[in-house]
Amino acid sequence: MLQACANVASVSAKKRIAVIPGDGIGKEVIPQAVKVIQAAGAAVEMTSFDWGADRYLADEVTVPPDGFATLARDFDAVLVGAFGDPRVPSNIHAREILLGMRSQMDLYANVRPVRLLDASLCPLKGIEPKDLDFVVIRENTEGVYGDLGGVFKQGTPDEVAIQEDINTRKGVERIIRYAFEYCANNKKLDGSPRRRVLMCDKSNAMTHAGGLWQRVFKAIAAEYPQIETQHMYVDALCMQMVHDPRGFDVIVTNNMFGDIITDLAAGLQGGLGMAASGNLRPGHTSMFEPVHGSAPSIAGKNIANPFGAILSAAIMLAHLGMAGEAQKIEAAVLEAVRQKKMTADIGGTLGTSDAGEWVAQKIASH
């Protein structure tokens, strides 16, 4: 996986990718994504980083000094697996690496496409791939993820825990604008235009934050008269997602609601193993990762589904201007699903590495 930059002149045209597999099944699915990137012939130079629980347990380093600055300066993109390990119950390394990367590299737009590759993968009756092609644009740097707050009188009957929900006008404006721009500039898989941005919040209960989101949504929507707007409270949206998800197009929401509804949406796609994402800051080094976590209970068994990681690599290549390579990868994963060359979580019989290998071979044979 690791290739040193031996000759600066010869690699200068290649995109530089930092690869951080992390923990658990991250260490199994990311090598499959790397293999597939190579099979697609993408002009990239990949460098592996050992950030994760093993490293933390060995030397207590979560992110080395200047770690994020190095990623931002020396790499065009970062491909990440997952973080979380039962040996680190505080989860400090995951917070510092993953949430640290999102906030310190200001990767403010978490773009999580929700696509159904085959009708057989969806637990809902009568839903076809053409019915499920929406995207969740999740605010990725604010909300309750800032870890602001505190605990007072810990361990006493009077204990108080406060977790602040941060919503800045700048943060809300840029994510809502990102969603409208995404809607204006991206088509659905079938080539039809995207038409609608739906804002999801809980402004009936969380009035201060919700009020800001509502005002900003209205103001930015006025700049895009060709785009329809819609609003749903997050509870009603969850119901609609399992009742009939066909009407969703572009959904914009805050950090925590975005986290929750994208696991729900992953369920519609066949499970967490299928869901891919990008953590983007336009014009800067961005990060790409499957939506799932480190899944400790299935780690090390060669049964994890690598397609979420592989599809995240495809999103990364498209983002880096390699649309052809990205398309080859997506087509090969689609073919794998059609031919049931896949892992057991989605109804196949292959192990993680064989499923990845099948996709790589499919690409290489074209």
Which are the catalytic amino acids?
145, 202, 235, 259, 263
Is 98 one of the binding residues for ligand NAD (CB under 6 A)? Answer: yes
Strand partners, 134: 114
- Is 345:305 a contact under the CB 8 Å cutoff? yes
From 28, 45, 133, 259, residue interacting with ligand IPM (rule: CB under 6 A): 259
Is 29 one of the binding residues for ligand IPM (CB under 6 A)? Answer: no
- Rounded to the nearest whole angstrom, what is the least distance from the CB of residue 158 to ligand IPM in the complex? 29
Is 249 one of the binding residues for ligand IPM (CB under 6 A)? Answer: no
Residues 17-46 touching ligand NAD, rule: CB under 6 A, are 25, 29
DSSP letter (8 states) at residue 52: S
Q: Which residues of 158-168 are buried (b: 16+ CB within 10 A; e: fewer)?
A: eeeeeeebbbe
By rule CB under 6 A, what string of x and - marks binding of each residue 321-360 to ligand NAD? ------------------------x---------------
Spatial separation of the C-alpha atoms in residues 197 and 285, rounded to whole Å: 26
Is 52 one of the binding residues for ligand NAD (CB under 6 A)? Answer: no
Phi, psi (rounded to 5 degrees) for 192:
-75, 150
Is 83 one of the binding residues for ligand NAD (CB under 6 A)? Answer: yes
The encoded tokens of residue 72 equal: 């931002």
From 113, 273, 348, 356, residue interacting with ligand NAD (rule: CB under 6 A): 273
Cβ-Cβ contacts under 8 Å for 7 (sequence gap 6 or more): none
- Is 333:36 a contact under the CB 8 Å cutoff? no
Residues 250-269 touching Mn ion, rule: CB under 5 A, are 259
Is 94 one of the binding residues for ligand IPM (CB under 6 A)? Answer: yes
Which part of the chain contacts ligand NAD (CB under 6 A), choosing from 13-21, 33-41, 101-109, 297-305?
Answer: 297-305
- Is 315:348 a contact under the CB 8 Å cutoff? no
Is 84 one of the binding residues for ligand NAD (CB under 6 A)? Answer: yes
Is 289 one of the binding residues for Mn ion (CB under 5 A)? Answer: no
181, containing H or E segment: helix 169-185
**Residue with nearest beta carbon to ligand IPM:** 259
- Is 327:44 a contact under the CB 8 Å cutoff? no
Binding residues (CB under 6 A) for ligand IPM: these are 94, 98-99, 259, 291, 293
